[in-house]
Each structure stands twice: as C-alpha cells, then as structure tokens.
C-alpha cells in the first residue's frame, strides 16, 4: 500500500472539504479514522490500486454501522450515484458526511426521508410506512390488523393535512419532536 496522501491532489481534497462536513484530515489521513481509510478497508485489493474504485454494495455493507442498520441497503442505494447501491469513494464520502456528527439535523432529515421513501414519489405513503415498520421489527411478525393499526396511528399523529401520506414537512415535524433521531443517523469515523 502506498502513502494515502499522494493519492489525492490538494485540489480534490479542498473540494471534498468544501462539499462535505469533513476537514481534509478527516477525508484523508494516514490513520484509521479517515473516510478514505474506511473505504479502502472495505476492499483493500481494489482501492489500493485505484482510489476511486467503485465498490459493489455487498462490500459497502461490510461497514459495521451499515451491517447492523436495518436500512443498510436503502442507505447504499440512496447515496449510490448509479442508484444501484454500488458506491464510488465520492458516494461513500457523501454518506459518511451526512452521517457525521457535524451534519445538521435538517440534512440528516432530508436523507432519512429519501431512505424511507422506497418508491421515490417524494411522499411517505402507507406502503413506505409498511416497509419501514417491517425493517424495524425484523423477524417479529405483525398481524395484518396490527400493522394497519400502527400505520393508522402514525398517520393520525403526523399526517397533518389528512391526505393519507407524509410529506417532507410532516416528516420533519416528527423528527423535530424525536430526540432519538440523531442517534440513529450517526456514524463516527
């Protein structure tokens, strides 16, 4: 493995610092706590030769924080520039940046909304809510009735204009009331 530092130009690093919530040091540092180190560790054989190698989603999901996150695959797909879950370093950096401590809550909320919007219609409808709940409860089965009741409870609470789905504004409203939210959307370098 060569010196990580020589892999990126000063200009590239400046861009990364400008476009993310990271410092240049956090992007690239010859220590275990940089974004590029994390990326390289997922596939040293590929990234060692090509700093911008595109890694398949299966490799990205080896990242511990994503492995334990029920939305791991959705997260990869939302940040993947090809929308298929495969990530370049820039996709990965973007992901790490949004999940970092420094990213504001509003930015995290925006991405969470995209992660939860499975069908991509800019609303969280009942089918999105159903898929979110299924991922959250994992192997626990929920009867059809209980599932419907749960979705109805969420809508009663959060669907302020009664159109049967949550808009981003309605979603943000819930997020602002939930103190746990930031903890779920956080990955430390």
What does the binding site for Ca ion look like in residue numbers (CB under 5 A)?
117, 119, 121, 123, 125, 128, 159, 161, 163
Whole-angstrom distance, CA of residue 25 vs CA of residue 156: 46
Helix axes 144-158, 126-137, angle to 10 degrees: 120
**Cα separation of the two ends of the chain:** 21
User: What's phi and psi for 166, nearest 5 deg?
Assistant: -100, 125
Nearest to 97 by CA among 2, 3, 11, 19: 19
Residue 31 DSSP SS3: coil
Query: Which residue, 90 or 117, is less far from Ca ion as judged by CB?
Result: 117
Distance of CA 53 to the CA centre of its chain: 20
Query: Which residue, 22 or 116, is less far from Ca ion as judged by CB?
Result: 116
Q: How many CB atoms lie within 10 A of CB 127?
A: 13
CB 133 within 8 A of CB 150: yes
The first and second tokens of residue 4, run together, are 């990580």
Query: Which residue, 119 or 157, is less far from Ca ion as judged by CB?
Result: 119
Query: Which residue, 101 or 121, is less far from Ca ion as judged by CB?
Result: 121
Query: Which residue, 150 or 154, is less far from Ca ion as judged by CB?
Result: 154
Whole-angstrom distance, CA of residue 180 vs CA of residue 154: 17
Query: Which residue, 110 or 159, is less far from Ca ion as judged by CB?
Result: 159
CB of 168 to Ca ion, least distance (A): 10
């Amino acid at each position: 493995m060569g010196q990580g530092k020589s892999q990126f130009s000063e200009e590239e690093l400046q861009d990364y610092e400008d476009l993310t919530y990271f410092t240049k040091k956090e992007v690239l540092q010859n220590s275990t706590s940089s974004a590029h180190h994390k990326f390289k560790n997922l596939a040293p054989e590929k990234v060692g030769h090509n700093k911008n190698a595109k890694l398949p989603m299966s490799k990205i999901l080896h990242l511990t924080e994503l492995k334990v996150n029920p939305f791991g695959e959705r997260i990869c797909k939302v940040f993947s520039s090809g929308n298929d879950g495969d990530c370049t370093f820039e996709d990965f950096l973007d992901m790490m940046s949004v999940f970092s401590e420094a990213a504001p809550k509003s930015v995290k909320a925006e991405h969470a909304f995209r992660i939860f919007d499975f069908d991509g219609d800019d609303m969280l409808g009942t089918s999105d809510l159903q898929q979110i709940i299924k991922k959250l409860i994992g192997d626990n089965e929920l009867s059809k009735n209980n599932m419907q009741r749960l979705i109805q409870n969420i809508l009663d609470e959060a669907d302020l204009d009664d159109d049967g789905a949550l808009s981003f504004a309605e979603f943000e409203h819930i997020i602002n009331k939930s103190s746990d939210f930031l903890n779920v959307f956080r990955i430390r370098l």
